[in-house]
Amino acid sequence: METKRELSNHRIAQAEQCLKDAKALLETSGYKGAANRAYYCVFHSMRSLLALNNVDFKSHKGVISYFRKHYIKTNILDAQLSDILTALFRVRTDSDYDDFYVVDKEEVVKQVENAEFFLNQIKAYTEVDKE
């Protein structure tokens, strides 16, 4: 059985892989896929924090709600991360479920950059919080 730290580190590794995939998709003009991978980078980053608290949820909304309640509203992490999350969730949802949604390169570039910033903020926080 893994420890909280091992699970958190595993989820950070998943987030890093999603970011790498998002950047690769950007290079090949796979904008919808890049938007999806950028969102999942953020999602796995959030779940890495939840692992440290022995908490998890079956739904994305549960993860997001917990993250905002316990890390944003308490000012542990900057509110800017909530804004990034909102934008990424919207773009990912529209890209995945709206047949006619077209995401443009500039928006996806921004989303990938935001996902990287989000991941780095979570990594910095968890480094401080290491057991």
Instruction: Quote the CA–CA distance of 128 and 99 in Å, as a whole number.
Output: 43
CATH of the domain at 117: 1.20.120.330
Nearest residue to 60 via CA among 39, 74, 83, 35: 39
**Global pTM value:** 0.92
Which stretches of the chain score pLDDT less than 50?
1, 131
Instruction: Quote the CA–CA distance of 38 and 28 in Å, as a whole number.
Output: 15
What domain range is 54 assigned to?
4-128
Give the total number of structural domains in the chain: 1
Long-range contacts of 101-106 (CB under 8 A, 24+ apart): 103/31, 103/32, 103/35, 104/31, 105/26, 105/29, 105/31
pLDDT at 128: 62
Residue spans of alpha helices (H) in 29-104 = 31-52, 60-67, 80-97
